[in-house]
Amino acid sequence: MTLDAGVIIVGSGPAGAAAALELSKITEVLMLDIGHSAPEESPVADRFVELLGQRLEGMSIISEPYLSPKLRSPLFRYVTRSWRELSPITSSDFKGELSLALGGLANAWGSGLYEFDDTDLRGFPISYSELQPFYLSLTKHIGISGGGDEVASLLGSRECLLPPMPVAGTLKALYAHSQRPKVKAFLLRNRIHIGRQRLGILTEPHRGRPAYTFDGKDFFRPWKAAIYNPAYTVRELEALGKLRFRRGILVKQFEEFPDRVRVDAVDLSSGQPVKFSARRLLLGAGAINSARIVLQSFKDYSTRLPMLENPISFIPFIHFASLGSDSKENSFTGAQLALIFDGPEHRDRVQGSFYNLSGVLSSDFLFDFPFSASGNLFCLAKILGAMGVLQIYYSDAPNPESFLSLSTEGALEVHCPARRFGKVEGKLINALRKMGFWSASFLVRYGEGGGSFHYAGTLPMREAGDSIGFSTDRFGRLNRCNHVYVVDASSFPLLPAKNLSLTIMANAMRIASKLML
């Protein structure tokens, strides 16, 4: 039997790209994915089409369920294209999105790239020291900006970081307030840490990619090379001849043989079934789709796999002293400041990211103010620039209400109820007020089930001898299999509050580095 490659990787998101980066040093790698790409870069002459889309996709919140501004933006529609048809989910409470794009959901991420420390990794069968070399390697590969204050050490090592992104607008004032000795002491007493972000955005040219330029169009331009996307790594490896990438391939299932593993897929361009063989298979299609492939492979329609997701909430706030100011100077759409809360109000650390409200179309917020249309338009012009949003992420652990299973029709049944906390929000609102920023509990919005887009834990890694059901060992090998490994967040047994992307990548590299071929 001729093998198509030494290793097949399914998925081109953070996990697949990072595993390929490591594996391409030692073997021939074949990557399979649908791989939708951003439209070719070209000047868009019609600003209606650029901002709102050919079919006015940018206005969809008027009459369709809420979709985040970046995913709604016309030129970013490829990120979530066709997943509902090709990876169907039936659910009454899952309001999230999946991606079949080259680079996955990272095409529209907030760019926060944090390391999990040993506190975050409690409950994992691995430690920080096992991930550390790969964190460092990725920091050099991606070009991560950050550091500059003590919060940096809570987000990861400062080694090899590029200078941090400048903070702009209202958040510049917030950062300045948070660094005043009295305020800082208050924050520390309340176990609140506010500091500069750690972002996959270049502040200096790095490995052939340019530094970030401020043009206020991050939400409308998917080609900004300064904002890291795993697709860059895939393309780079492909250009170097270290990776073969087969686009338009929908992987359905795998079958193991003593000396190899075979992948059964559909070539979407022809609609014909195709098969690929390799010595090892790495699943990196994301926590939900990797679980789907595993359940389909075992034709298991009864097992309920756990599902983890970061519950989220949003705290809008306003700085009255900034009313009337123009916040566009140096503003970008990534997370500008980071927050870590480790007080007694919640069992685990809580992580937050501060965003300003520039960059998106201001009409998104037209009816978020309580006046008639003219008053609301004034608010868009003069109040929005003084506002910001603190997005809060909570950790998650397996619970009986969140799970997924495969139906006999082939759709995944996902149960992912929304969860609301509130005590932490109250504490943070008090802290904001202390810094001169006003908010109130009734303004807090809670995310719906699946709304964080951070999914994990469907095929959790366990200590050796502790393997039950569909789980993996600490090296990512799937229980019941000899040649199949899981490299994405499926293998996280718990989900810390911190943004998981960099750890997905580091863990994928760790697993790839230990792979016995």
Partner 1 sequence: MSRIAPGQSDTLQSEIAFIFHEIFDVNAQQEAIAAYSCFHTVYGASLSTRKGVNMTRVLNRRLDVEAIEFFLRTRYPGNLLTCKLWACAYLYEAQEGVAPRGRIQARSGRITSPVLCLVILAWFGFRSAVKWLKGGLQVYWHHLL
Judged by CB under 8 A, does residue 56 bind partner 1?
yes
Judged by CB under 8 A, does residue 176 bind partner 1?
no
Q: Who contacts 497 (Cβ-Cβ below 8 Å, separation ≥6)?
A: 310, 348, 349, 350, 351, 393, 394, 395
Least distance in angstroms from the C-beta of 439 to partner 1? 17
Among 2, 42, 46, 129, the residue binding partner 1 under the rule CB under 8 A is 46
Among 88, 163, 375, 422, the residue binding partner 1 under the rule CB under 8 A is 375
Distances, alpha carbon 281 to alpha carbons 99, 306, 471, in Å: 21, 22, 16
Nearer CB in complex with partner 1: 257/378: 378
Among 41, 118, 150, 326, the residue binding partner 1 under the rule CB under 8 A is 326
Judged by CB under 8 A, does residue 356 bind partner 1?
no
Nearer CB in complex with partner 1: 223/371: 371
Q: CA angle, corner 100, sides to 96 and 104, nearest 5?
A: 80
Q: Who contacts 66 (Cβ-Cβ below 8 Å, separation ≥6)?
A: none
Other CB atoms within 10 A of residue 335 CB: 24
Least distance in angstroms from the C-beta of 60 to partner 1? 8
Amino acid letter at 429? Answer: I
Nearer CB in complex with partner 1: 213/372: 372
Determine the straight-line distance between the first and last CA of the chain, rounded to whole angstroms.
17
Least distance in angstroms from the C-beta of 212 to partner 1? 17
Judged by CB under 8 A, does residue 324 bind partner 1?
yes
Q: Give the span between the Cα atoms of 429 and 341, in whole angstroms.
A: 13
The structure tokens 């809580």 sit at 350
Distances, alpha carbon 261 to alpha carbons 2, 22, 258, in Å: 12, 20, 8
Helical segments of 240-354, H only: 287-297
Amino acid letter at 69? Answer: P
Among 273, 378, 422, 482, the residue binding partner 1 under the rule CB under 8 A is 378
Least distance in angstroms from the C-beta of 176 to partner 1? 17
Nearer CB in complex with partner 1: 150/326: 326
Judged by CB under 8 A, does residue 66 bind partner 1?
no
Q: Give the span between the Cα atoms of 453 and 110, in whole angstroms.
A: 11
Least distance in angstroms from the C-beta of 224 to partner 1? 16
Q: Give the span between the Cα atoms of 413 and 426, in whole angstroms.
A: 35
Distances, alpha carbon 108 to alpha carbons 93, 97, 175, in Å: 23, 11, 25
Q: Give the span between the Cα atoms of 12 and 233, in whole angstroms.
A: 9
Least distance in angstroms from the C-beta of 469 to partner 1? 42
Q: Which stretch binds partner 1 (CB under 8 A): 157-165, 251-259, 364-372, 499-507?
A: 364-372
Judged by CB under 8 A, does residue 217 bind partner 1?
yes
Least distance in angstroms from the C-beta of 215 to partner 1? 8
Judged by CB under 8 A, does residue 387 bind partner 1?
no
Judged by CB under 8 A, does residue 304 bind partner 1?
no
Nearer CB in complex with partner 1: 335/360: 360
Least distance in angstroms from the C-beta of 173 to partner 1? 12
Among 384, 456, 508, 515, the residue binding partner 1 under the rule CB under 8 A is 384
Q: Is the dihedral of CA 364, 369, 371, 376 positive or negative?
A: negative
Least distance in angstroms from the C-beta of 321 to partner 1? 6
Least distance in angstroms from the C-beta of 371 to partner 1? 4
- Residues in 102-161 that interact with partner 1 by CB under 8 A: none
Among 64, 150, 159, 329, the residue binding partner 1 under the rule CB under 8 A is 64
Other CB atoms within 10 A of residue 435 CB: 19
Sheet of 337-341: strand order equals: 192-196, 337-341, 350-356, 387-393, 312-318, 445-446
Judged by CB under 8 A, does residue 358 bind partner 1?
yes
DSSP string of 408-462, one letter each residue: TTS-EEEE-------HHHHHHHHHHHHTT-B--GGG-EEPPTTTT--EE-SS-B-
Nearer CB in complex with partner 1: 216/248: 216
Q: Give the span between the Cα atoms of 48 and 322, in whole angstroms.
A: 31
Phi, then psi, of 189 in degrees rounded to 5: -60, -30
Distances, alpha carbon 494 to alpha carbons 173, 388, 461, in Å: 36, 30, 10
Nearer CB in complex with partner 1: 296/322: 322
Least distance in angstroms from the C-beta of 66 to partner 1? 13
Judged by CB under 8 A, does residue 322 bind partner 1?
yes
Q: Which stretch binds partner 1 (CB under 8 A): 230-238, 247-255, 337-345, 356-364?
A: 356-364
Which residues are near partner 1 by CB under 8 A? Answer: 46-52, 54-56, 58-60, 62-64, 216-217, 219, 320-326, 328, 358-363, 366-367, 370-375, 377-386
